[in-house]
Structure 1
Amino acid sequence: MNGLTVAQSSEEDVKDKRRKKEEAQCSENASCSRTVESIQNSEDDAKNDSSLNGSESCYSYDYNAILEGDRPDPSVIMAKALMAGGIAEDEESSSVFLKHEKAKECYNKIVEPLIKDRFQAANWMREKRLLVQGMRCPACQLDMLWTKHNKCGDGYSWKCHNTSCARYKYTKSIRNGSLFQRSHISFGKWVNAMYLWGIDEEVNMAAVRSDLSAKTMVDAFNYFRELCQWYFEAHPVMLGGESRECVVDVLPAVRKRKLEAMKDSQPMQYVLVITDISSKPISGCLELIDNLLPETIYSLISRVIFKGTTVWCKDPESFERLQLEKIRSVSKSFSGKEDNETVGDWLQFKKLDKDKRGKEYLQYWHRLKTRLKGLSAYKDDFRKGFLYELMWKDRFTENALESLCEHIAEKYAF
């Protein structure tokens, strides 16, 4: 009898606990529904307020958040941003937004179709002069024809159509003599790699997005960097000119913490930054130097900047002294006597005050310093290539894929 009473009481305790748990859940659900209802009401009130205010918008848009997450049609986002006044209020964010939209349009219209269609990709490569434009048969020496070849990975091959030739129907790869001669990567993936490099995608992420190995993508990115170096060796940078202004400044090649650790262990390296603030948009030149001696800096300044330019720098007196010595030596070599009348044809040095250089220059300087932070991750031998890449992208980032194709074609002279 006592056992039955105990069992009944335990059952009642269990039921009581269940009832309390259900009541708690009900109250929680009720509070949640009230919260949701209040949120919906507040959203409705906001909509009503915005409609009453006419053209005034109560919304603000975080462009960086928009770029990172899923979003609707770009034209809708841009229209909302313009209505909210975000474009005018935040030029840097809107610039990032517009750059992202342009890159996405390039991918959708050019890159993606080439990844999907090997025949279209081969014809695009030929049109951009990234492939040899013609080839002769080694037997009859007549021009071979660009011929569709379904069994070939590229979709086309060069083929001899001379029926009298001993090697009639002989074929050659359309990659012969080109950058892609030793590569087995499809043309579509090559175009994707070029596109990803042009938009500054990180190399490991680019490998994932291209379905390629990290080593292959590193090799591709290194080639594009070498192309940047070739371009500036073939087209030396010249800045300034009559009635134009340039700014000269120096940055350490490594970050502050690493700089302190290196002071006593190995020679320091610096980046000489020469910026033409009269050009639209602002452009510059980056040079790696091993010391901060005025003679070293002046030799680079005089090589890169046209005569007649006003040069803003931190130590104008030292550069004026070096320039005067050079003028005297040049004058003596030509006339056998000193002649200071030619000073006006040379550089005019003035004391630099960054805060007075204007908003556009300060934005450029901040952006450059941010990008140069990546330099410390490279060994000394690779830093120069990194600077060439920065200079190239600084000039051609608006249409990087097209410019990259032009420079590859120029290098190989197709």
Structure 2
Amino acid sequence: MSKSTISTFELFAMFPDQETARVYLEGRLWPNGPRCPVCASGERITARNEGYYRCNACKEDFTVRTGTIFERSHVPLHKWIYAMYLLVTARKGISSMQLAKEIGITQKSAWFVLHRLREACGPKLEKLRGIIEIDETYIGGLEENKHESKKLKAGRGAVGKTAVLGMRERGGRVVAGTVDEVTMHTIKSAIAKYVEPGSTIHTDDSRVYNDLPEFEHEAVNHSAGEYVRDDVTTNGIESVFAVLKRGLVGVYHHASPKHLERYVDEFAFRLNEGNVKNHTMTRLESFVDGTAGKRLTYKGLIQ
């Protein structure tokens, strides 16, 4: 038996029903006891039946679901935990059709569950440092393969595709997300937000990376067929894009520009907190930690 993973059989033994899942989630999200999600008070809390609590300070009733991605969901909590386990252990993700079969809910509900889980995968605010590889890629179908009525007829290459900017700390974390356009302004804004000043940045020879005075900047000349020079390369972030694209094509088949950001967050999370080098329960705990303070309604998702 592996010391770094647990099987589905072991997971079912740990969380056989909703009650065991509730106790686990309460212990993880409320390490110091129940805390009101409305007034943030941890005092004057009265336990009621079936996991309900009453805050005597603001007179609100709440459960461990309140103020999390689980709020107002009819899916039992132990099924949520199994869904998190499947999403974090699947290298390229799991489709809503497959999840529906695994946990016994409709495909529509499974689609909503997966998007809620992706909402919990959003990037942390810790800045990357050291050597950072940065590159961009484009997600979307080829113009020549589109129906005639959907062709933009505005050129080739990135036309009709969504740009994704990725940053990978050498031997460390990944930050990635969609951008409206790949310009010097958007690149500099993203780097300022996610990269520690003084870090070394490796990119290709695109002109959008030319003006980065706060960083040591090295570039490989892809135009001349150069992909590695000493330790200067963008192969690390390009491998992230390879996994992302293979997952989108092979598992999800299609991701609309509207929802693509959450899919990118899912893949980045799996490479960071969901890294296979970490024990399965550690990965699951990181997932649970990300569920707090996030809410995604079905109406907000489809609008």
Task: Indicate the TM-score class for this superposition, using the shorter chain for normalisation.
Answer: 0.5 to 0.7
2:134 is matched with which residue: 244, 248, 252?
248
Separation (CA, whole Å) in 2 of partners of 1:159 and 1:124? 16
2:263 is matched with which residue: 368, 375, 386?
386
1:370 is matched with which residue: 212, 237, 243?
243
Moved more, 285-294 or 304-313: 285-294
Cα shift at 1:196: 1.8
Structure whose CA Rg is larger: 1
| Cα root mean square deviation, aligned | 3.8
AA of the residue aligned to 1:123 = V
Higher relative contact order, structure no. (Cα contacts within 8 Å, ≥ 6 residues apart): 2
2:9 is matched with which residue: 80, 104, 108?
108
Cα shift at 1:223: 0.8
Using the size of structure 2 for normalisation, the TM-score is 0.68
Separation (CA, whole Å) in 2 of partners of 1:178 and 1:107? 28
Give the conservation status (yes or no) of the 8 Å contact 2:197–2:215.
yes
1:288 equivalent in structure 2: 178
1:376-404: CA deviation from partner (whole Å, max 9, x where unpaired)? 71111111222222222221114332111
Q: How does 1:198-209 map to 2 (within 5 A)?
A: 198-199=88-89, 200-209=93-102
1:324-360: CA deviation from partner (whole Å, max 9, x where unpaired)? xxxxxxxxxxxxxxxxxxx6xx212222243347699
Structure 1 pair 259–144 and aligned structure 2 pair: CA distance change class (3 A): farther
AA of the residue aligned to 2:216 = Q
Structure 1 pair 181–377 and aligned structure 2 pair: CA distance change class (3 A): closer
2:219 equivalent in structure 1: 351
Cα shift at 1:301: 2.7
Alignment partner of 1:314 is 2:166: no
Corresponding residue SS for 2:258: helix
2:28 is matched with which residue: 117, 128, 133?
128
Alignment partner of 1:238 is 2:111: no
Using the size of structure 1 for normalisation, the TM-score is 0.51
1:147-168: CA deviation from partner (whole Å, max 9, x where unpaired)? 5xxxxxxxx35589xxxxxxxx
Give the conservation status (yes or no) of the 8 Å contact 1:250–1:273.
yes
Give the conservation status (yes or no) of the 8 Å contact 1:310–1:348.
yes
Cα shift at 1:224: 1.2
2:283 is matched with which residue: 362, 377, 400?
400
Give the conservation status (yes or no) of the 8 Å contact 2:134–2:237.
no
Structure 1 pair 379–307 and aligned structure 2 pair: CA distance change class (3 A): same
2:47 equivalent in structure 1: 145
**Runs of 5+ unmatched residues, structure 2:** 37-43, 55-60, 221-225, 296-303
AA of the residue aligned to 1:110 = L
1:247-283: CA deviation from partner (whole Å, max 9, x where unpaired)? 222212225x347755625654322222222xx3x32
Alignment partner of 1:215 is 2:108: yes
Give the conservation status (yes or no) of the 8 Å contact 1:128–1:409.
no
Separation (CA, whole Å) in 1 of partners of 2:138 and 2:202? 19
Cα shift at 1:215: 1.2
Give the conservation status (yes or no) of the 8 Å contact 2:137–2:163.
yes
Structure 1 pair 124–274 and aligned structure 2 pair: CA distance change class (3 A): closer
Corresponding residue SS for 1:228: coil
Separation (CA, whole Å) in 2 of partners of 1:363 and 1:349? 16
1:231-254: CA deviation from partner (whole Å, max 9, x where unpaired)? x3xx335222xxx32222221222
